[in-house]
Amino acid sequence: MRIAVLLKDRCQPKRCNLECIKYCPPVRTGSETIVMNEELGKPVISEQLCVGCGICVHKCPFEAIKIIGLPEELEEKIVHRYGVNSFRLYGLPVPKKGQVVGIIGPNGIGKTTAISILSGLMLPNLGRYDSPPDQGEILERFSGTEIHDYFKKLFDGELRTAIKPQYVDKIADTYKGRVEKLLSNVDDLGRLDQVARELSIDGILDRDIQTLSGGELQRVAIAATLLRDADAFFFDEPSSYLDIYQRLKVAEIIQGISPEKYVLVIEHDLAVMDFISELAYLMYGSEGAYGIVSQPRVVRVAINVYLDGYLREENIRFRDTEIRFFPKPPREESSRAGLIRFGKLSKSLDGFTLTVDGGEIRVAEVVGAVGPNAIGKTTFVKMLAGEIEPDSGKIDTNAKVSYKPQYIRPSFDGTVRELFIESIGPGFETGFFNSEIAHPMNLKFLFDRELKSLSGGELQRVAISLCLARDADIYLLDEPSAYLDSTQRMAAAKTIRSVIEKTARTAMVVDHDVYMIDMISDSLLVFSGEPMKQGKATGPLPMREGMNMFLKQMDLTFRRDADTNRPRINKKGSRLDREQREKGEYYYSL
C-alpha cells in the first residue's frame, strides 16, 4: 500500500515552479497523477496512479511531499483520515475502566486525534473523508473488538467525557474573568473547594485568568476537567509548566479518580508517565503523514521499548538510535576556569525575596537549575542575563549572554528563515549551525513557515536553536522541554550538550524534566524556600550533592531501571525508598 501525503503548511505553490508536477514521470506521459486543485490552491496526488518513484519528494523545494509504502494489512485498521493527501490514523488505544492508560509517542502522529475520537469530539471516518460513516457503520467496523462496547456507550449517550486540552496558554485567549467563576461554571458535583485545595489553587481563585502563569493555568485546566461529572477523563500533557512536586501531586490525583471511570493520559515526561499509568500504548509513524497505535504494554516495558526505538513483536525500528542513561554522576572537572562569579545576592519583587549564596559558573559547563515553581529560578536567570539588577551583591562577569525565556510569544513578522538571518546574519550559512543545531533540532522543515503559524513545540525548537546560534559566552535556557515530545527533549538535550562541548561555552538550563536534567547537566543550582514568598539558591553543586539536596526537599527518591538505567520514581515507603533515604542517596547508585 502506497500513501501520498502533502504537508499543506509547507507547500507553497506561489513560491515554486510546481516541480512536483513538472518532473513526475507519469504526468510527462499524459497521466493525471499530480494535478493542481484550483479550489485548494495546492497540488493533489493520486495514490492509485502514483508509481512511487519519489521524484516529486526530492524535487519539491519545500519538502512538502511524503510518499510512503505501508503494509497492505494496515488499510483494514484505518480509523481516521483528514482528507485527500492528508494525515491518517491506524488503530486506537483502548480505555480500560479503573486503569490509567498512557499514550507515548512523538508530536504529529495522531495522539490528540485519538483522544478527540475517544472523547466524542469527533467521529472516526474510517478513512472515508468524502463519505463519512454513521455511528452504526462505526460500531459494525469495531464489532467483536474491545473498543466496540466503549463506542456503543459513547454513541448511546451513556458515557460522559471530560478533556484537558494540550495548550493551556490558550485558555486566557478564550476565557475572561476570575478563576473561581470559570471553575464554578463546570463544577458539576460541588467539589470546587476540595479540588482547589488538592491542586493548591485555592489561593488564586480571586485572580483574573489573564494574570496566571503557565503552571497556574495548567492546574486550573486540570481542575476544570476533574470537576466535570464524567465517566471518561482525558488529560493531554498535564505536566507542562508544572514543577516535579506538582507533577506528582497531579499524578496522584489522576490515579485517585474512581475505579469505575476511564482515564487516558498523553505525557512526554517519561518519569511521570512511568509513575502515573499502569498500561501504555506506543504510537509511531511519520510526522504529519500517518500514525500507528501499537499493542498495549506494561508501562515500564513500553517506556523501555520507546527508549530503545525498536518494537520487537512488530519487528519495526522507529528511531535510528537508542536513548541511553548513565547510573553514576559525571566526574567533577576542577580544572575548568571560572566564567561568572557572584557573591551573596538578594532581589525582592512583588512581595517575593530571593537570596543567592555565593558561587561560580565555569567555562564549558552545563549547570542545571532545579526547584519548585515560583521559587526564583527565572529571577536569577534574568539577573545573569542583565534584564534585572540585584538589590544587593554583585555578579562579576563580562560574559556575553544569550537568553531563551520561559514563555515564548512570537512578535516577529516573517518566516523562521528571515528571523534567523536577521538575528545571526552570516552565522545562518555556516556548516556548524546546520550540522550542530539546525539538523538535530529538525529545523529544515520550519525555515519557510511564518513564525506566528508555528505550534508550541515548533516555537520551542526555534527558540532553543536561536539561543544556541547566537555568539555568546553563556546560554541561559528557561524550561526548554515545554511542549516538546520525549524524543525532541532528548534531541534538545544532546544539542545543547554538543554545542557546549564543541565551542567550550557555558549553559544554564532551568527545567522540571528529570530525564533532561540528568542527561544535560555537569552541576546543579538548587532552589529551595516557600513559593511566591521567599527563595534561596545554593550552588552550583556537584551532581550527586545537588540531586540529593533537591530530592530530599521534594521528599522523593529515584531508583534505576535494570535494563536502561533510566531514573524511576520510588513508591514512598517502599523497601528501596527506605534504604536510599537511610543511605542519603536519593538519586545515584553507590
Q: What is the DSSP letter of 449?
A: S
State how beta strands 232-236 and 262-266 pair: parallel
Q: What is the pLDDT of residue 331?
A: 59
Residue 192's pLDDT is what? 97
Domain 2-69, CATH 3.30.70.20 — does that match? Answer: yes
How much is the average pLDDT of 110-134?
A: 96
**CA distance linking residue 548 with residue 557, whole number of Å:** 9
Question: Residue 335: how many CB atoms within 10 A of its CB?
Answer: 6
Grid look-up 458535583 returns 189
Per the listing, cell 545571526 goes with 424
**Percent of the chain at pLDDT exceeding 90:** 76
pLDDT digits (tens, 9 = 90+) for 523-581: 999 999 998 899 999 989 999 999 999 999 999 999 989 888 898 999 889 999 999 99
Percentage of the residues of the chain whose pLDDT score is greater than 70: 98
State the pLDDT at residue 380.
92
Pairing of strands 395-396, 338-342: antiparallel
C-alpha to C-alpha distance for 577 and 558, rounded to whole angstroms: 8
CB 369 within 8 A of CB 528: no
Position 590 scores a pLDDT of 55
What's the confidence (pLDDT) of residue 432?
94
Pairwise CA distance, residues 566 & 71, whole Å: 33
Phi, psi of 297 (to 5 degrees): -135, 155
Query: Which pairs count as long-range contacts for 553-557, CB under 8 Å and 24+ apart, including other chains?
Result: 553/526, 553/528, 554/244, 554/245, 556/244, 556/248, 556/586, 557/581, 557/586, 557/587
Give tens-digit pLDDT for 494-529: 999 999 999 999 999 999 998 899 889 999 999 999
- Give the Cα separation of 22 and 56 in Å (integer): 9
How far apart CA 21 and CA 33 sit, in angstroms, is 8
**244-283 exposure pattern, b = at least 16 Cβ within 10 A, e = fewer:** bbbbbbbbebbeeeeeebbbbbbbbbbbbbbbbbebbbbb
Q: How far apart are CA 108 and CA 560, in angstroms?
A: 30
Q: Distance between CA 178 and CA 210 in Å, rounded?
A: 9
Task: Give the tens place of pLDDT for each residue, 329-350.
Answer: 665 665 678 888 998 999 999 8
Q: What is the mean pLDDT of residues 137-153?
A: 95
> Whole-number mean pLDDT of the chain?
92
Residues of the chain with CATH 3.40.50.300: 75-317, 338-554
Query: What superfamily does domain 338-554 belong to in CATH?
Result: P-loop containing nucleotide triphosphate hydrolases (3.40.50.300)
Q: Which CATH superfamily is domain 75-317 in?
A: P-loop containing nucleotide triphosphate hydrolases (3.40.50.300)
